Amino acid sequence: MTKRILILLFLSLVSRMMNAQEKPVISEMQFFTGTFQEALVKAKEENKLVFVDAYATWCGPCKMMKSQTFSDKKVIEFYNKNFISIAMDMEKGEGLKYAAPWGITHYPTLLYFKPSGELIQNAVGFHNSWQFAELGEKVVKVK
């Protein structure tokens, strides 16, 4: 009986050690916290595209995308791998500078750029996780 307990304890310890060595799972989309221009530089360095979530704080569909779409595992993996993502409140700070030139009139507006700053694609309105992933895949193919 004591042998059995020792074996179980040993196996439990080995299992925990193996799990501790695994890479942590990223459970959210990584949003870059710098400026748009800095995001373009980072995208060029990492050979990625830039995704901009153009939102407003009062926007219900924007909040739904943040809580539902941006938390989807497939979306997280795909966007973190292929894009430097940046969320930009278009009614404050740097967003005020870009709202008019980018033609932002509805929220959310989803914008996709090459590292050169060239706009590749835009889309307006709420996208569920599969629509959003599909849009990102389409953009990456155009790259």
**19 is a domain residue:** no
Q: Single out the residue of 18, 24, 35, 19 nearest to residue 80, CA to CA.
A: 24
Does 106 reside within a domain? yes
What pLDDT is stored for residue 11 in this prediction?
A: 53
Query: Residue 5: inside a domain, yes or no?
Result: no
Contact by Cβ (8 Å): 89, 110? no
pLDDT of residue 142: 84
- Domain region containing 57: 29-142
Token pair in block for residue 60: 């219900």
Give me the number of domains the chain comprises: 1
- Is 93 inside a domain boundary? yes
Task: Kindly report the pTM of this predicted structure.
Answer: 0.81
User: Has residue 22 been placed in a domain?
Assistant: no
Which CATH number do you get for residue 33?
3.40.30.10
Q: Which residue, 106, 110, 99, 118, is CA-closest to 70?
A: 110
Instruction: Identify whether 59 is part of a domain.
Output: yes
Among the ranges given (24-33, 69-78, 81-90), the one the predictor scored with the smallest mean pLDDT? 24-33
Classify residue 4: in a domain, yes or no. Answer: no
**Beta bridge partners of residue 88, listed in sequence order:** 54
Strands 49-55 and 83-89, by their bridges, are parallel
The arithmetic mean of pLDDT across residues 59-75, rounded, is 97
Strand partners, 5: none
Residue 17 domain flag: no
Residue 20: pLDDT band with limits 50, 70, 90: very low
